[in-house]
Amino acid sequence: MTVPAPFAAPARKTVDPRLDLEAEIARLRRERNAVVLAHYYQDSEIQDLADFVGDSLGLSQQAAKTKADVIAFCGVHFMAETAKILNPRKTVVLPDLDAGCSLADRCPPDAFEAWLAQYPGHEVVSYINCSAAVKALSTIICTSSNAVRVVSSIPKHVPVVFAPDRHLGRWVEKQTGRKMVLWPGFCVVHEQFTARRILALRAKHPQAEVIAHPECEEAVLSIADFIGSTTALLEHVKKSPKKSFLVATEMGILHAMRKARPDAEIVGAPPDSGCECATCPYMRLNTMEKLYLALRDLEPQIDVPEPIRLRALKPLERMLALG
């Protein structure tokens, strides 16, 4: 899997290897009045020092209410951009500006706008994994936590376009019984899981529950015992009486699951290659060193042109208002 570099590559800086990065990050966080927000797909050491760890919805809710002057966003570009849309006067830094997302990168705003022209009269529901310019073309935003609720909030007689994840879109269609027009995007990490490999793994763990993120293919979702966003999967593991789980999503979430359920066996589902490597190559570009540098130098910063920000803000606020 190759990682595209859609954003300008920053000049390489070096960090003194003798530095106590945890202590330095804590000091800079205080001095800058900064908050560190981290997605569950970040390295465990970043998750452990963050002020808040969450899924896309939880992180945007935190970004919407933070009183900090600086938001250090340990996630991918569209997440940091969302924080900036919600906080135009705050400084938002992303440790590595190349931390993109296959869904966002493969839904260019020009192509999306031309495609939408074929569907006049449709409401446009966009998954938060898209650029600010695509958000600006949307009626309402959703995340994997609230996609069913968001689509259900649109009157039944109004036709809906859903972008950019076709698997999440198809799953929402099933949950709502509603046909939508789907943009053909996919996540390079979740599309690697196959029902064949997961069933083979379940044969070795017959008591295990298969739990999956809705970005997985339909065949994988059809054999899952539980489907949900990153936070929903974690909550399920916390509450379930089961003692064994096969987890079809990015491996970063296993850290929080194992902390929450030390008594349980938590196994990451293998992608089709068979390796134990279902990690998001974009998310993992962020490191402790880069987080330290981002807090020290207040760069790389996220910037959104004001006309796009104002148009992207409306569908985001519509989503946040749904709770």
| Min dist. Cβ of residue 4 to ligand SF4 (A) | 11
Verify binding: residue 286, ligand 13P, rule CB under 6 A: no
Element (H, E) at 244: strand 244-248
Q: Which does 282 bind (CB under 5 to 8 A by kind): ligand SF4, ligand 13P, none?
A: ligand SF4
Angle between helices 77-86 and 56-65 (to 10 degrees): 30
Express the helix, strand and coil content of the chain in percent, nearest 5 each: 40, 15, 40
Which long-range contacts link 107-112 to residues 24+ away (Cβ below 8 Å)? 107/131, 107/134, 107/163, 107/164, 107/183, 107/185, 109/133, 109/134, 109/136, 109/137, 112/137, 112/163, 112/164, 112/183
| Nearer to ligand SF4 (CB atom), residue 76 or residue 142 | 76
Q: Which does 102 bind (CB under 5 to 8 A by kind): ligand SF4, ligand 13P, none?
A: ligand SF4
Q: Which of 66, 87, 126, 129 binds ligand 13P (CB under 6 A)?
A: 129
* Rounded distance between C-alpha atoms, residue 132 and residue 120, angstroms: 21
| Nearer to ligand 13P (CB atom), residue 78 or residue 112 | 78
Verify binding: residue 229, ligand 13P, rule CB under 6 A: yes
| Nearer to ligand SF4 (CB atom), residue 224 or residue 285 | 285
Token code pair at residue 183: 């943009």
* Rounded distance between C-alpha atoms, residue 116 and residue 94, angstroms: 30
* Piece in contact with ligand 13P (CB under 6 A), picked from 142-150, 176-184, 237-245, 261-269: 142-150
| Min dist. Cβ of residue 206 to ligand SF4 (A) | 29
Verify binding: residue 101, ligand SF4, rule CB under 6 A: yes
Q: Which of 230, 234, 302, 313 binds ligand 13P (CB under 6 A)?
A: 230
Verify binding: residue 55, ligand 13P, rule CB under 6 A: yes
Q: Which of 271, 152, 130, 258 is nearest to 213 (CA)?
A: 271
Q: Which does 188 bind (CB under 5 to 8 A by kind): ligand 13P, ligand SF4, none?
A: ligand SF4
Verify binding: residue 102, ligand SF4, rule CB under 6 A: yes
Which runs of consecutive H residues, i.e. helices, occur in the chain?
A: 21-32, 44-49, 56-65, 77-86, 102-105, 109-116, 132-135, 147-152, 166-176, 195-204, 218-222, 230-239, 253-260, 288-297, 306-321
Q: Which does 56 bind (CB under 5 to 8 A by kind): ligand SF4, ligand 13P, none?
A: ligand 13P
Q: Please give the residue ranges that form the binding site for ligand SF4 (CB under 6 A).
A: 76, 101-103, 129, 187-189, 215, 250, 280, 282-283
Q: Please give the residue ranges that form the binding site for ligand 13P (CB under 6 A).
A: 55-56, 129, 143-145, 187, 215, 229-230
